[in-house]
């Protein structure tokens, strides 16, 4: 595993650089703005001080290879980095031994470096979202389910109205209710959310 540590000397990155130097890994210190050549590394992690994150997104580094270095971090900031797809956060106000322990975990596996609380919160958000997406189908009325079936067949409102012997305005009202109940934004999303019918 190769470690690239991006930051300024005598700052957050230098503390991590010194700790990483004690491990059996290749460690490179990179000044902000310098290009990183990861073509010769099949496994690498980039530690980037939070103030330089934007500039390194321009160099084509994948977020899942970046560990954010920050002096201290709030729970919400940590969750935000996880939502954005970064590999982890390393708080540099930790003791050198704790930093070394976290670096050892990273060098052996593809581990995420987030607190258990942050991982639990994001997992819970994901599960709740998935439950919410699959929930609405059972709350549709019989008539709305009929209309969904016709939508899956590709029929337009006028054609559905003719099949059900109701007015196109009534079909439109039913479609609007289906949108609201399923949380869909358009007819295409209705189809994807009701595909299991």
Question: pLDDT for 76-132, tens place per residue?
Answer: 999 999 999 899 998 888 888 988 888 888 877 678 889 999 999 999 988 887 766
Radius of gyration of the chain (CA): 25
Domain boundary (127, 148, 178) is at 127
pLDDT for position 11: 67
- Residue 9 pLDDT class (50, 70, 90 cuts): low
Tell whether 89 and 122 lie within a shared domain.
Answer: yes
Same domain, 115 and 170: no
Same domain assignment for residues 41 and 64 = yes
* pTM, full prediction: 0.62
Same domain, residue pair 118 and 42: yes
Whether 113 and 152 map to the same domain: the answer is no
* Residue 148: per-residue pLDDT: 92
Given a cut of 70, whether residue 156 has pLDDT beyond it is: yes
CA 8 – CA 30 distance, rounded (Å): 8
pLDDT in tens, 69-91: 888 889 999 999 999 989 999 88
Q: Which domain holds residue 159?
A: 135-193
Task: State what percent of residues in the chain have pLDDT above 70.
Answer: 88
The answer on 86 and 152 residing in a single domain is: no
Report CA-CA distances (Å) from 34 to 44, 90, 169.
17, 22, 62
Q: Residues 118, 70: one domain?
A: yes
Please report, for the domain that includes residue 157, its CATH number: 1.10.10.10
* CATH (domain of 113): 3.40.50.2300
Q: Are 32 and 113 members of one domain?
A: yes
- Is residue 67 within 8 Å of residue 112, measured between CB atoms? no
**According to DSSP H, which parts of the chain are helical?**
12-20, 53-57, 75-84, 96-108, 116-134, 142-152, 157-164, 168-182, 187-193
Q: How many domains does the chain have?
A: 2
Query: Do residues 142 and 109 both lie within one domain?
Result: no
Residues 7 and 89 in one domain: yes
Instruction: Using the 3D structure, point to which of 81, 105, 127 is the last residue of a domain.
Output: 127
Q: 64: helix, coil or strand? A: helix
Q: Which tokens in the block code for residue 16?
A: 């991590």
């Amino acid at each position: 595993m190769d470690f690239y540590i991006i930051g300024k000397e005598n700052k957050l990155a230098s503390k991590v650089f010194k700790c990483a130097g004690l491990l059996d890994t290749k460690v490179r210190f990179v000044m902000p703005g310098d290009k990183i050549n990861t073509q010769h590394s099949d496994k690498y992690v980039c530690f980037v001080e939070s103030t330089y994150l934007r500039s390194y997104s321009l160099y084509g580094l994948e977020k899942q290879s970046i560990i954010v270095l920050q002096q201290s971090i709030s729970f919400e900031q940590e969750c935000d980095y996880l939502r954005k797809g970064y590999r982890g956060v390393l708080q540099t106000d930790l003791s050198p031994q704790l930093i070394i322990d976290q670096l050892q975990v990273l060098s052996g596996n593809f581990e995420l470096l987030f607190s258990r609380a942050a991982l639990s919160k994001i997992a819970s958000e994901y599960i709740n979202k998935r439950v919410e997406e699959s929930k609405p189908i059972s709350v549709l009325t019989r008539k709305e389910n009929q209309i969904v079936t016709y939508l899956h067949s590709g029929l337009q409102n006028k054609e559905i109205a003719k099949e059900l012997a109701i007015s196109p305005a009534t079909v439109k009202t039913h479609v609007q209710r289906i949108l609201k109940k399923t949380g869909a934004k358009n007819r295409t999303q209705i189809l994807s959310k009701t595909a299991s019918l």
